[in-house]
Structure 1
Amino acid sequence: MAARILVAGIGNIFLGDDGFGSEVVRNADISHDDPSVRVIDYGIAGMHLAYDLLEHWDTLVLVDAVPSRGTPGALHIFQADHDTDESSSAAAGLDAHGMDPAAVFASLRALGGSPPYTVVVGCEAGSVEEGMGLTEPVANAVPRAARAVEEIVAALQMPSAALSMGEEC
């Protein structure tokens, strides 16, 4: 049986570079005919993602803007750590219009689920001020990120493939 993979683009397109994840999933060339792979632009619908994660998924590929470390447009690919301190999960609450990944995973746990193996494709944001459109460095990273997502999905579909996480592109 093929691994079930959910590719989730997240972010707010009205906050500049925060819309990175949405833009990447629109540009990723992943077949929509494969029932084992679902690609969705969740935008800011965190509860929608939490409910979808209640279905059995082997892997979540989460595409999102990440805080800048001083290099807007830099890509970071890594495995999410679901074993972090959950003491703040109660404070996260169930916010139907929020898309903080930690809050999504807390909501998922509150609903009785548990997060699948998660690969994050993140891009350092340049600006998350109000306004539509990505800054130039982040927009330039979209094709590279889309290719990375395509390669991750292809690798996950190979039975003996091992992904090298922690890459920086």
Structure 2
Amino acid sequence: MDKKRTVVIGVGNLLFGDEGIGIHAVNELKKEALPPEVEVIDGGAAGLDLIFMLEGAARAIIIDCTEAGAEPGTIFRIPVTDLALNAPSRAVSLHDISLVEALALAGKLGKLPPTVIYGVQPGKVTCSTELSEPVKKNLPRLLSLIRQEMAVLY
């Protein structure tokens, strides 16, 4: 494990509107000059591949669409320690694994670094490559929060 390596992983699907917020965010971060210890990854619809993306990292920041019944564009900061990763999981196909299930498996395999999730409440999850207005409006704030998270690390 690289004691300084931080991975910032955006997950989601760019073809389904706000479901792609994680990918939109990492695409913006890739345009910036970030510390060399930071690796920005387009995780797509990662599933089990997320485990390999986390492997060897000292810390991780994951950006995803999060359905929480809040106002569209609301940003949540969720430390992975707040998730019920040890709860019994439902039987799933390995092609249908959620972010929480992938994180739980990474934890069981000893490959889960300290991780925080930035979730954004979607406005529209529909066939579109565009973010809804409330989510698009909060993208700069999301990026600012992620930069602040990285600044604490370095």
Q: TM-score, normalised by structure 1?
A: 0.77
Match of 1:153 among 129, 143, 150: 150
Question: Is the CA contact 1:17–1:134 (under 8 Å) kept in the aligned structure 2?
Answer: yes
Question: Is the CA contact 2:3–2:58 (under 8 Å) kept in the aligned structure 1?
Answer: no
Question: Is the CA contact 1:73–1:124 (under 8 Å) kept in the aligned structure 2?
Answer: yes
Instruction: Classify 1:70/1:83 alpha carbon distance in 2 versus 1 (closer, same or farther; 3 Å).
Output: closer
Matched residue, 2:22: 21
Matched residue, 1:103: 101
Question: Is the CA contact 1:92–1:103 (under 8 Å) kept in the aligned structure 2?
Answer: no
Instruction: Classify 1:26/1:99 alpha carbon distance in 2 versus 1 (closer, same or farther; 3 Å).
Output: farther
Structure 2, unpaired ranges of 5+? none
* SS of equivalent residue, structure 2 residue 103: helix
Question: Alpha carbon RMSD of aligned pairs, Å?
Answer: 2.3
Question: Is the CA contact 2:85–2:101 (under 8 Å) kept in the aligned structure 1?
Answer: no
Instruction: Classify 1:27/1:121 alpha carbon distance in 2 versus 1 (closer, same or farther; 3 Å).
Output: same
* SS of equivalent residue, structure 1 residue 78: strand
Matches within 5 A, 1:12-161: 12-28=13-29, 30-31=32-33, 34=36, 36-55=37-56, 57-81=57-81, 82-88=83-89, 91-95=91-95, 100-109=98-107, 112-157=109-154
- State the distance in 2 between where 1:119 and 1:75 align: 13
The amino acid of 1:155's aligned partner reads: V
Cα-to-partner distance string for 1:21-60 (whole Å, 9 max, x where unaligned): 11111112653560x21101111122322112222x1211
Deviation for aligned residue 1:78: 2.6
Deviation for aligned residue 1:109: 4.7
Question: Is the CA contact 1:53–1:113 (under 8 Å) kept in the aligned structure 2?
Answer: no
Aligned length: 151
Structure 1, unpaired ranges of 5+? 158-169
Question: Is the CA contact 1:61–1:120 (under 8 Å) kept in the aligned structure 2?
Answer: yes
Q: Percent identity?
A: 27
